[in-house]
Structure 1
Amino acid sequence: MESDILMKRYNGASDKLKRMVLSSMKRDELFDVLSNDILILEYGNQVLRNQQTRKHIVSQKMRALASVLLELRKSDPNGGQNISDFIKPSKFDMVVEAVEKRCAIVENDNGGSCQYKFPSFAIKSGHDFVWITRIKRSQAIRQGDAEAEEEANRYLQLHQAEWHVKVASAAASTLNVRKCEKVVSLPSVSDLKKVSEHTRSQIKSLTSKLMSAKPEFRDYRLLQKMTLARLIVFNKRRPAEMAKLPVASILNRPQWEKCEINELAHNLNALEKELSKRYQVVKIVGKRGRPVAVIIPPECSESLKLIIDQRESFCIPAGNPYVFARSTSASFLDGGECLSEVLTGLDLKAPETINSTKMRQYAATVSQVLSLGSQEVEWLASHLGHDVAIHKQYYRLQESTVELCKVSKLLLAMDRGKVSNLRGKTLDEISVDDIPVFEDEQIEESVAMHQLEGDNHSDEQGKQSHHDPPVLENTSSDNHSDDERGTQGSEDQLVLENTSSGKRLFRKQKKKVPWTTEEKRPSSSIFKRT
């Protein structure tokens, strides 16, 4: 198949595009369209230079343009056969209609904006058509074709002016609605703990087997997978980035303990000093060529060394630069597949939540529990491989618990008009004493019940019989029985009672306080005179 592809000309396709993309692409109507379109082939060449090993993305983008071209041919059979024939200002509206058909547009009966079944296709198509129009303009400039250059420039002007209004706005609206309706589920602590314990025990066991007299390739491959899965879960790293860990990065990693700055070392606490001795760090290439750190836990240090030392014994090609290398080619293992295999044999509550994106969202979300400063947030975002803005907007989800317990305090303070009393306080420092929460019956009942539970635990003598409703009283300097109640003054108390609907509520009740001797004296003198 590959030899047939290479023998054909495919005018405009580079040898790399033929070998890496076209040779493995599905043979169908879309392939016939794109393989005979010079502009789409040149587009594939340029995308492949940017994506490097991510050849499936190049294939998807080329096939997406070919699908729009098929729709354009159906709409205007005499308009042309190549996509360049439709990149004209007079054909712009036709391109919009073709993209909408591919997105399966759904009209809103309520008069709102229309919705798309495939909104991401609409957004991506906008970027793709801008890119391919610029290619047409560049080719026209090289060929001295002033007419084609003018067509491309005027098409770009129309695209920049109207694409957002006609296509992108509805697509973004659809995505936002789906995001609001989507239930966000993050990995559970128990599941992550099980995965961590399983991979660590397997790495230890497999390392012992490979150090025996007769190591087997099956154990070597399994050790590769377990180590890769462990590094992905521990570092919350993207699987493709972690799978491309180079051998040179491990062998030539810096000895940080030898080049550390004394001032920094003296300022580390005991835990940080111990971690710096037991853990190691290497740099790899992350998304968009950004260098990112990989922290290697102790159990992986020995397994990585063993994987590298025994490469030759298990016929790993010498030219393969990757630690998690395949034995049959110069490529690497699929990190996502390795993680899925590890999860398959475990009894987990929600294994579908343990993937790269979810774990990265989990790390960014639970970090809100800590009082991280701006520098610490930047460290975490840098480790995850993105800047702080992306970290806050796309990865750090507002977990319902955080929003309920933290944000509700601020909202309640604003609702009660008590924000001015909280000047200089953090959300964690705001207590129940700062906000008059007893104006809300449900909060009142909850707080009162917590106080009852606390009193029951702390003072055994304060327990009440289950026959009598519990009473919460404000503290008073004098303790009086019901028989001693007078008519002067009163104090509030909370009494638990059952309503007609069966709901148990706390209501406020006045407790009468008897007159003191000093209070009785003036009235007694008046009565004596009469």
Structure 2
Amino acid sequence: MINRMHDDEISTVVRNDFCLLRFAESLYSKHGHDPSKHDYIRQKIRQVGRFLQTLRRISPIMTLEDSIKPRNFMTVIKAVQETAGFDTNTNSYKTPSLALKIGHSLLKVSDIVRCHALMAGNEDLIKSSEAFQKLYQAKWSEYISHCALTTISDSKYNKPDNLPLTEDIKKLHQHLDSSAELATAALKKVATAQNYSSLARTILSKIVIFNRRRIGEVSKMKLMNFLQRDHSHTHEGTGLSNYEQKLCRYFNRVELKGKRGRKVAVLLTPDMTNALNLLIANRKECGVPEENDYLFAVPQCLTYYRGHESLRRQADECGAQKPDCLRSTKLRKEIATTSQILNLKDNELDQLADFLGHDISVHRQFYRLSEPKIQSGKISKLLLALEKGKLHELHGKSLDQIGDFTDEDEEDDSEDEETIPAENPLEDASDKTNGPLESRPCPNTSEGLKADRPISENDVSSRGRRMPKRRPWTKPEVNAVMRHFKMHISKAHLATMRECEVCKRCEHPVLQNRSVQNIRDFVRNRGRNFKHVEN
């Protein structure tokens, strides 16, 4: 595995340090049985190799074993900071995650050294490694971890969290469907490695997109997992509806190993299943070795096709407006975010998180609607209500039920104000001198303006622009509202939305053409007029 490492100065450092080779051996004993983890092992080794290379350059320390001696602790701190690109002026790291990873590796190296010292009975080395671990627990956070974590946290401020566009997702699905159809026809016609590769990459992307699954989980799916999938249809008597039972029979369900050893499921449509069966039937003809036990196996290799490369290529080719957003992580966040509009129950949310392979706490914290959107879209409505002094009107309402407060006053004055205020707002709609309200002229017309008062400059300017059409209040409508809000009007009190809803419901069908906001504005305007007459 080390021989496949890139041949450079770091690989030379790795091959010539005995303690570093022991660290590599420990990683291989834990993860070496899984070929997909070999790149991870090489990456961890090269990180420590870079640290040791820096340590040799800034100090006389030459071996990794000497670096974990207590007297060299501060030199190790400087080497880690330099390797991770620490800037003393800004107190931040260029690569903060590297500093954290090297720290974890050094702690593991000290454990390895202590274990070998115990087996060899080397008391000095035992005390030295134990002392380093005590220093690490006491001082590493102060010198390295705290600043690295702060750098990571600060980099997330005001960072846009772009989700994929719905139109882009549709384009990607359509492109994948057409590509899969062409690749299937080509492989059926001629079984070549190129046609096999084209179909494998396309189906891999389709499964990832449809299931919103992590790319690595689908890419590393074993052939055995697909062949041993559950074919039984024991869905009757489970409390599912007829439609849900049909869906259970329509999809094939394959269980595989997910992150942290969780069992996760992949749902396959009949088209996906047929394409995978075609790939399996042509594995030998297309040059896939029998030893390769991956479902999406690469011909002439023991590895698998990497889903992120396939998905990136398909996203670039489908003509999406934002192809960079069509990634596995973005798509998983998109379904977790948009599912909030469904108002899922707790048990349903648990099922969604379990299908995505999330712990429920991780799902709520990282994958649901982000905090900036909640604060901007929902909490701001509460702040606007406080600013306008209308918090008392929101009694018993949730954030989703709070209405629009932005231009309410302007809209109310122009659209819902009464046509002609009565001399006494507490009287009914009929007037002794002017007659019923229906027969009064509307102030939007020139007749109404001439009859009631002289034309002002404001009236002239208002006639130049389109004014909203106002519907006069009829006598039955006014009487219906007055039965409920006569006391409110006499005291110039505002009616709540709930009270107006009750009024509209009780006075149906008289108020069927009036909205709850219309009724509320009627009470407010009558109260203003009554207060003006009193004064």
Contact 2:394–2:402 (8 Å) recurs in 1: no
2:215 match: 239
Contact 2:340–2:369 (8 Å) recurs in 1: no
Task: Find the partner of 1:92 among 61, 67, 73.
Answer: 73
2:135 match: 158
1:347-372 CA-partner distances (Å, limit 9, x unpaired): 11111111122222222222222212
* Residue type at the aligned position of 2:402: S
1:373 match: 345
Contact 2:191–2:285 (8 Å) recurs in 1: no
Identity %: 29
Within-5 A mapping of 1:392-431? 392-398=364-370, 401-412=373-384, 425-428=397-400, 430-431=401-402
Q: Tell me the SS of whatever aligns to 2:182.
A: helix
1:219 match: 195
Distance 1:336 1:477, change over 3 A: same
Q: Tell me the SS of whatever aligns to 2:139.
A: helix
Q: Distance in 2 between matches of 1:358 and 1:148?
A: 49
Does 51-60 or 301-310 show the bigger shift?
51-60
Tell me how far 1:473 sits from its aligned partner.
8.3
Q: Distance in 1 between matches of 2:195 and 2:72?
A: 60
Distance 1:147 1:304, change over 3 A: same
Q: Distance in 1 between matches of 2:463 and 2:248?
A: 57
Two-structure CA RMSD over aligned residues (Å) = 3.6
1:227-269 CA-partner distances (Å, limit 9, x unpaired): 0010111112222221122222222211241x33x331xx323
Within-5 A mapping of 1:111-510? 114-212=91-189, 214-257=190-233, 259-260=234-235, 262-264=236-238, 267-398=239-370, 401-412=373-384, 425-428=397-400, 430-432=401-403, 438=405, 442-444=406-408, 467-468=464-465, 470=467
Distance 1:106 1:448, change over 3 A: farther
- Stretches of structure 2 that go unaligned for 5 or more consecutive residues are 417-441, 446-461, 479-488, 495-523
Q: Distance in 2 between matches of 1:383 and 1:226?
A: 23
* Residue type at the aligned position of 1:467: G
Q: Distance in 2 between matches of 1:140 and 1:153?
A: 11
* Residue type at the aligned position of 2:17: D
2:456 match: none
Tell me how far 1:206 sits from its aligned partner.
2.9
Distance 1:447 1:388, change over 3 A: farther
Q: Tell me the SS of whatever aligns to 1:329.
A: coil
Q: Distance in 2 between matches of 1:443 and 1:157?
A: 63
Q: Distance in 1 between matches of 2:320 and 2:414?
A: 34
Distance 1:447 1:314, change over 3 A: farther
* Residue type at the aligned position of 1:431: I
Q: Distance in 1 between matches of 2:187 and 2:10?
A: 48
1:326-345 CA-partner distances (Å, limit 9, x unpaired): 11112211111111222232
Distance 1:284 1:492, change over 3 A: same
Q: Distance in 1 between matches of 2:472 and 2:286?
A: 79
TM-score by length of 2: 0.75
Instruction: Indicate the structure whose relative CO is greater, using CA pairs within 8 Å and at least 6 residues apart.
Output: 2
Q: Tell me the SS of whatever aligns to 2:157.
A: helix
1:59 match: 42
1:142-164 CA-partner distances (Å, limit 9, x unpaired): 11111111111111111111111
Q: Distance in 2 between matches of 1:449 and 1:123?
A: 61
* Residue type at the aligned position of 1:60: Q
* Residue type at the aligned position of 1:97: K
Tell me how far 1:226 sits from its aligned partner.
0.7
Q: Tell me the SS of whatever aligns to 1:54.
A: helix
1:479-508 CA-partner distances (Å, limit 9, x unpaired): 99xxxxxxx999999xxxxxxxxxxxxxxx
1:423-453 CA-partner distances (Å, limit 9, x unpaired): 765433x232xxxx75xxx44368669979x
* Residue type at the aligned position of 2:165: S
Q: Distance in 1 between matches of 2:281 and 2:372?
A: 48
Distance 1:140 1:415, change over 3 A: farther
TM-score by length of 1: 0.75
Q: Distance in 2 between matches of 1:185 and 1:280?
A: 32
Q: Distance in 2 between matches of 1:193 and 1:462?
A: 52
The number of residue pairs the alignment matches comes to: 448
Tell me how far 1:224 sits from its aligned partner.
0.9
Q: Distance in 1 between matches of 2:414 and 2:256?
A: 51
Q: Distance in 1 between matches of 2:27 and 2:390?
A: 56
Contact 1:243–1:334 (8 Å) recurs in 2: yes
* Residue type at the aligned position of 2:254: V
Does 375-384 or 203-212 show the bigger shift?
203-212
Contact 2:415–2:468 (8 Å) recurs in 1: no
Task: Find the partner of 2:54 among 71, 78, 90.
Answer: 71
